[in-house]
Amino acid sequence: MANGSINPEIFHAKVYEICRLIPYGRVTTYGHIARLAGHPNRTYPSAPCPFSSLAPPLKTALAPTLADSRLVGSALKFLGDPSVPWQRVIASSGAISDRGDGGEAAARQAQRLRQEGVAVSEGRGGGVSTHLAGHANPNAKWRVSLAEFGWFPDQVHLEGFDDDDDDDEASRARNGDDDESDLSSLSELED
């Protein structure tokens, strides 16, 4: 894709495949899935990291990646495959994100996680932080302990995907290696 943009079809497929890798009874974050899918670089360093007191691997896994985490949320919004365990993806604060439907989807997600043995705490406004600055979201009703139930591998192998599937075209365009220039240089050599 030109200008480093993301191919939505490939990105969504990677998101779904990564979700399938999350072990039963574990959760990960939208931002960590974006990182595993190969899109880790859209961070906001000026925002304070609410995870500064955590151990380095967990702190790194939870570092804010707002733009890419929203892309993961969008991919899951369009999910039509019941084999993808969408319920295992939560906000970097540990909150189960409200989807603007009066809490029905968040309640369904909390119920599914509990069925997997994940402890989900309740308490509207109970300090569940979903804002980068650490402000409590008064609408967040459920939370999961990422320290206890989090799944944060450094990398995953995605069967059927090259590491740079969605970046190949952009890389060729940046390097001037598109097919037409390759062919024209070959025809110049033949002359």
Q: What's the pLDDT tens digit per position in 21-63?
A: 999 999 999 999 999 998 765 544 434 444 555 555 555 555 5
pLDDT at 90 over 70: yes
Distance, in Å, from the CA atom of 161 to the CA atom of 13, rounded to the nearest integer, reads: 9
pLDDT at position 190 is 43
Separation in Å, CA 101 to CA 45, 81, 106, 110, 142: 32, 21, 9, 15, 15
| Residue 110 burial (CB count, 10 A) | 22
pLDDT at 166 over 90: no
- Fold entry, domain 2-94+143-175: Arc Repressor Mutant, subunit A (1.10.10)
Higher pLDDT, 123 or 55: 123
Q: Using alpha carbons, select from 48, 42, 49, 46 the residue that is nearest to residue 65.
A: 42
CA 69 vs. chain centroid, Å, equals 5
Distance, in Å, from the CA atom of 106 to the CA atom of 145, rounded to the nearest integer, reads: 16
Q: Taking residues 64-91, report their average pLDDT.
A: 86
Calculate what percentage of the chain has a pLDDT beyond 90.
40
Among all chains, which residue has been given the structure tokens 């206890």?
A: 148
